[in-house]
Amino acid sequence: MDGSTMSDDIGKTLLNTPPKVVNLGLESFALELSQQGVAVVHVDWTPPAGGDPALADLLSKLGA
């Protein structure tokens, strides 16, 4: 992929449309966005695999 295609990609999919956000982490970010009328889905995130790094690593190897 050359630079121009890539910047077109970013232009089309990020800069030329109002952001529609998936928020993971601080909920206040999602609240502020929705108060401004920005489309946002807040993910009720918890550490994957219960926070077990070995299991999380295994999951990533298994394509999860």
Partner 1 sequence: MDLIERANKEAVRRMLAGDPVLVDVIPAEQAIPTLGERMILHAGPPIDWARMCGPMRGAVTGVACFEGWTANLEAAAEQAAAGAFALHPNHHFDAVGPMTGITTRSQPVMVVENRAFGNRAYCTINEGLGKVMRFGGNDEEVLNRLRWLRDDFGPAMGAALREMGGIPLKSLVARGLTMGDEMHQRNVACSGLTLRHLAPALARVTQDRDALARALAFIGGNDQFFLNIAMALGKAIMDPVRGIEGSSVVTAMARNGTDFGIRVSGTGDTWFTAPVEMPEGLYFPGFSAADANPDMGDSTIVETIGLGGFAMGAAPAVAGFVGAGAASEAGNFTRTMAEITLGENPEWTIPALDYFGVPTGIDIRLVVETGLAPTINTGIAHKEPGIGQVGAGVVRAPLACFREALLAFAETLGVL
Partner 2 sequence: MSGLVINEVRRGFYLDSVALMRLSRGIAERDGVEEAALMMGTPANKRIMDDAGLLTATGQAAEGGDLVIGIRADSHARAKEVLQEALSELDKPAGHGGAAVQWRPRTTRAALKQAPDSNLALISVPGDFAAAEARKALRRGLHVMMFSDNVSLAAEVALKQEAKTLGRLVMGPDCGTAIINGVPLAFANAVPRGSVGLIGASGTGLQEVSCLIAQGGGGLSHAIGVGGRDLKEEVGGMTTLMALDALDADPGTKHIVLISKPPAAGVAARLLERIGASGKSFTICFIGASDLTLPANARSVDTLKAAAEDALGGVALGVGFDPVMMAARAPAGRGAVWGLFTGGTLCAEAQVIFQAAGQVVASNAPIPGASPLDPGGSGHQLIDLGADEFTRGRPHPMIDPTVRDDALVEALASSRVGVILLDVVVGFGAHADPAGHLAPVLTAHRRADGPVVIASVTGTDADPQGRTAQAAKLEAAGVMVAPTNADAATLALACLGCVPGRDPTNRSA
With binding defined as CB under 8 A, does residue 11 bind partner 2?
Answer: yes
Shortest distance in whole angstroms from residue 63 CB to partner 2: 10
Shortest distance in whole angstroms from residue 50 CB to partner 1: 5
Contacts (CB under 8 A) with partner 2, residues 13-52: 13-26, 28-30, 32-33, 36, 38-39, 41-48
Which is nearer to partner 1, 13 or 46 (by Cβ)? 46
Distance of CA 23 to the CA centre of its chain: 6
Backbone CA torsion sign across 6, 11, 15, 18: negative
In Å, what is the CA distance from 34 to each residue of 19, 27, 31? 12, 11, 5
